[in-house]
């Protein structure tokens, strides 16, 4: 009888020990250790975020300024697409995780970068003309989901060197529809603009078509009507060019979504 009783006590102690081993928070409460479950020390629970970490307060119109941004994410993860979208007007719309870049409204973007995260990145942005500010956001894709930073801006100062810059263009057009783009040749006083026009194509950096040329006296604004390609091309890439006093200048590339 006594042997049976001792055996039952041993089994009970083993059962309680196993239960406490599986419930560390209960051990803490019973023995004064705060009741905290051990935390994950590997960093795999880190949330993804992207934020602007460096930019000047102002820049000359048509000239570049450098933007730095930081992408945070779980240790061991990476981004296969991070860049800066920018424009002459603010875009305060819906920029929740997963929102489409085609719906951002920004008309210009820097080259795509990639790498392990967490990490810092930087790129040159072109200061917008005819605007008191250049607005921009950083963007990244981590684990297949896109994330946006808050919108920031840099003040614009008048340039004293020739440049050609986008003023206005739609962010989205329908296939086969007409649209107007406007640009400025500035930074030069009373100099002759030999010619200026728009280069465009349906692949980044590949301009297969161009508009008719125009001429004038610097500084001067220009505008021209264009027709979007038929369905099948989702994006039109445009670049403005101008020759001032025999020297050729180019704007950075911008894009228009066709849908």
Per-residue pLDDT reduced to its tens digit, 161-205: 888 988 889 988 999 999 999 999 988 878 899 999 999 999 999
In this structure, the chain runs to a length of 259
CA 118 to chain centre: 16
- Given this model, what pLDDT does residue 40 score? 24
- Residues with Cβ < 8 Å from 86, sequence gap 6 or more? 106, 108, 109, 110, 125, 126, 128, 134, 135, 136, 137
- Given this model, what pLDDT does residue 154 score? 96
- Each domain of the chain, given as residue ranges in start order, spans 2-31, 49-157, 163-258
- Given this model, what pLDDT does residue 61 score? 83
- Given this model, what pLDDT does residue 186 score? 86
- Given this model, what pLDDT does residue 37 score? 26
Q: Are both 49-157 and 163-258 of the same fold?
A: yes
- Given this model, what pLDDT does residue 11 score? 58
Give yes or no for a contact between 214 and 183, defined as CB atoms under 8 angstroms apart. Answer: no
What is d(CA 64, CA 134) in angstroms, rounded to the nearest whole number? 11
**Reported CATH class of domain 49-157:** mainly beta
> Which CATH superfamily hosts domain 163-258?
Immunoglobulins (2.60.40.10)
Full pLDDT tens readout for the chain, 259 residues: 555 555 555 555 555 555 444 444 333 333 333 222 222 222 344 699 999 999 999 998 888 899 999 999 998 899 999 999 999 889 998 899 998 898 898 988 999 999 999 999 999 998 887 667 999 999 999 999 999 999 999 998 877 788 898 888 998 899 999 999 999 998 887 889 999 999 999 999 999 999 999 999 988 999 999 999 886 778 999 999 999 989 999 998 999 999 8
- Given this model, what pLDDT does residue 44 score? 41
């Amino acid at each position: 009888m006594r042997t049976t009783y001792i055996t039952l006590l041993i089994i009970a102690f083993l059962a309680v020990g196993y239960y406490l081993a599986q419930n560390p928070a209960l051990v803490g409460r019973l023995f004064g250790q705060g009741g905290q479950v051990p935390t994950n020390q590997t960093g795999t629970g880190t949330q993804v975020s992207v934020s602007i970490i460096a930019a000047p307060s102002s820049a000359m119109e048509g000239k570049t300024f450098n933007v730095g941004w930081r992408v945070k994410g779980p240790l061991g993860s990476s981004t296969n697409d991070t860049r800066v979208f920018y424009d002459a007007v603010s875009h305060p719309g819906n920029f929740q995780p997963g929102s489409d870049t085609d719906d951002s409204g920004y008309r210009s973007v820097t080259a795509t970068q990639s790498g392990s995260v967490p990490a810092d990145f930087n790129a040159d942005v072109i200061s917008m003309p005819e605007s008191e500010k250049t607005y921009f956001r950083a963007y990244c894709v981590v684990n297949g989901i896109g994330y946006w930073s808050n919108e920031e801006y840099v003040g614009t100062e008048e340039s004293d060197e020739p440049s050609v810059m986008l003023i206005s263009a739609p962010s989205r057009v329908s296939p086969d529809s007409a649209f107007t783009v406007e640009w400025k040749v500035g930074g030069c006083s009373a100099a002759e603009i030999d010619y200026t026009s728009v280069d465009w194509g349906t692949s980044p950096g590949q301009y297969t078509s161009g508009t008719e040329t125009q001429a004038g006296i610097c500084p001067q604004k220009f505008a021209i009507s264009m027709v979007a390609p038929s369905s099948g091309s989702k994006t039109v890439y445009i670049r403005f060019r101008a020759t001032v006093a025999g020297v050729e200048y180019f704007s950075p590339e911008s894009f228009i979504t066709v849908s």
